[in-house]
């Protein structure tokens, strides 16, 4: 919503089949930042998406609903799965929504918490660009873990009286090797040292059986990390849940044939 005008006239939306979120349910794929459409909640009650307006409206804007920027609260945009409109809502810090405002979905607050963190793609340590690899011999893949590339990283957010703590950790890295194969590794991989010789990686490796085309070009691959976010409501019901996000990093592998050396 940054740098745009807000239009709250009724508008049509694509509706999805209602679903019931349960603790431990995963939701893969990357989402639009700061926004999530939710399904139907328990008991058939509508579940709403609350998106904090960034930047907040200027003083005097009707979006404040009679409040001002100095008040302890913020303007959100409420979108519910049982309506076809979006409307501005002012919610005080640490307070429950005003009468008539549907309850905050804690997973939406968890997404807002994770938006405060930095989730990067994997830092690929191997394969290394420009280093030759031999056809048929093992290629060891591994990444260098850090807080922003592997986790864990934790953040907390509050909206409408609901406080959620969310922790993101990489749970797998999928290596698309550029030759049509994909290797999924549960951990960061094991670093290679010369003393290991031609042994294969114990947990994250691959062998190329043909050269890249056109000849002389490297394979171009992608390492995709899956971040699993575990969230919990602080106090109150203590509701928990999970969702996933993905990040990618490209890499290249320069594969050569082993050249025989003749003797006389």
User: Which of 116-120, 208-212, 213-217 has the lowest average pLDDT?
Assistant: 213-217
Residue 70: per-residue pLDDT: 87
Highest mean pLDDT among 98-112, 119-133, 246-260: 119-133
Residue 8: per-residue pLDDT: 35
Q: What percent of the chain is predicted at pLDDT more than 70?
A: 73
- Measured distance between the N- and C-terminal CA atoms of the chain, rounded to whole angstroms: 74
Residue 202: which residues within 8 A CB-CB, separation 6 or more? 190
Beta bridge partners of residue 132, listed in sequence order: 254
User: Does the structure show a pLDDT above 50 at 4?
Assistant: no
Local structure of 7: helix, strand or coil: coil
Which residue did the predictor score with more confidence, 21 or 79? 79
**Per-residue pLDDT tens for 27-65?**
333 333 334 343 444 555 666 777 888 899 898 887 787
**Per-residue pLDDT tens for 72-85?**
888 887 777 665 55
Which residue did the predictor score with more confidence, 12 or 41? 41
Beta bridge partners of residue 50, listed in sequence order: 78
Average pLDDT, the chain: 79
Residue 1: per-residue pLDDT: 39
Residue 83: per-residue pLDDT: 56
User: Does the structure show a pLDDT above 60 at 95?
Assistant: yes
Cα(182)–Cα(221) distance, integer angstroms? 9
**Per-residue pLDDT tens for 132-173?**
999 999 999 999 999 999 999 999 998 867 889 999 999 999
Cα(138)–Cα(198) distance, integer angstroms? 7
Query: With b meaning 16 or more CB within 10 Å and e meaning fewer, what string describes 77-91?
Result: bbbbbeeeebebbbb
Mean pLDDT to the nearest integer, 11-20: 32
Residue 101: per-residue pLDDT: 55
**How many other C-beta atoms lie within 10 A of the C-beta of residue 231?**
27
Q: How confident is the model at residue 221 (pLDDT cuts 50, 70, 90)?
A: very high
Q: Got the DSSP string for 131-158?
A: -EEETTSEEE-EE---TTTT--EEEEEE
Residue 66: per-residue pLDDT: 80
Give domain limits for the chain: 42-115, 124-256
The answer to whether 4 and 57 are in contact (CB under 8 A) is: no
Residue 91: per-residue pLDDT: 83
The answer to whether 236 and 254 are in contact (CB under 8 A) is: no
Cα(41)–Cα(48) distance, integer angstroms? 9
Residue 225: which residues within 8 A CB-CB, separation 6 or more? 121, 122, 143, 149, 150, 170, 172, 173, 246, 247, 248, 249
User: Does the structure show a pLDDT above 50 at 245?
Assistant: yes
Going 105 to 106 to 111 to 115, the CA torsion angle's sign is positive
């Amino acid at each position: 919503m940054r740098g745009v005008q807000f239009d709250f006239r009724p508008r049509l939306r694509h509706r999805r089949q209602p679903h019931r979120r349960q603790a431990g349910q995963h939701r893969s794929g990357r989402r639009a930042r700061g926004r999530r459409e939710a399904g139907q909640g328990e008991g058939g009650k509508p579940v709403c998406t609350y998106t904090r307006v960034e930047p907040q409206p200027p003083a005097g804007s009707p979006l404040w609903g009679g409040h001002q920027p100095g008040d302890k609260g913020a303007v959100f945009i409420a979108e519910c799965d049982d309506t076809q409109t979006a409307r501005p809502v002012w919610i005080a810090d640490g307070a429950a929504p005003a009468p008539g405002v549907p309850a905050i979905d804690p997973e939406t607050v968890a997404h807002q918490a994770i938006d405060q963190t930095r989730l990067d793609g994997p830092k690929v340590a191997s394969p290394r660009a420009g280093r030759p690899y031999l056809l048929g011999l093992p290629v060891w893949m591994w990444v260098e873990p850090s807080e922003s590339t592997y986790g864990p990283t934790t953040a907390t957010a509050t909206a409408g009286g609901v406080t959620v703590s969310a922790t993101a950790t990489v749970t797998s890295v999928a290596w698309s090797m550029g030759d049509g194969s994909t290797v999924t590794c549960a951990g960061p991989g094991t670093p290679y040292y010369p003393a290991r010789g031609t042994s294969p990686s114990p947990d994250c490796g691959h062998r190329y059986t043909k050269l890249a085309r056109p000849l002389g070009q490297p394979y171009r691959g992608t390492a995709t990390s899956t971040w699993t976010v575990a969230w919990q409501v602080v106090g109150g019901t203590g509701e928990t849940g999970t969702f996933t996000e993905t990040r990618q990093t490209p890499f290249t592998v320069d594969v050569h044939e082993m050249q025989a050396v003749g003797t006389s």
